[in-house]
């Protein structure tokens, strides 16, 4: 299986994306999935259109992208977290 590139984005690319990035690392480790995590500002997503496989964002995504976009706010609130983790795993296993 090809190593997936996962974008983890928030408004500034620093605070909330770090929380989500660490959680995604743990999910991948626990499930034996290798992926390349890239922590970015939401405004930088356009630079990865040709390489990214998945975007997980803690901020509102207002554009359409050629890869799936998953709302990652559940990692901050805990609300619906199991569903979001399941969604991410499904995408990474494709």
Which of 7, 8, 10, 23 does the annotation list as catalytic?
A: 10
Angle made by CA atoms 61, 88, 18, in degrees to the nearest 5: 65
Structure tokens at 38: 């890239």
Tell me, yes or no, if 10 is annotated catalytic: yes
Question: Hey, which residues are catalytic here?
Answer: 10
């Amino acid at each position: 299986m090809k190593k997936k590139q996962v974008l983890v984005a928030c408004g500034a690319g620093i605070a909330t994306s770090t929380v989500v990035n660490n959680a995604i690392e743990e999910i991948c480790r626990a499930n034996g999935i290798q992926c390349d995590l890239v922590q970015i500002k939401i405004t930088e997503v356009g630079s990865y259109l040709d390489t990214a496989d998945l975007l997980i964002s803690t901020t509102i995504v207002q554009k359409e992208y050629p890869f799936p976009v998953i709302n990652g706010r559940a990692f901050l609130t805990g609300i619906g977290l199991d569903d979001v983790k399941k969604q991410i795993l499904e995408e990474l296993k494709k």
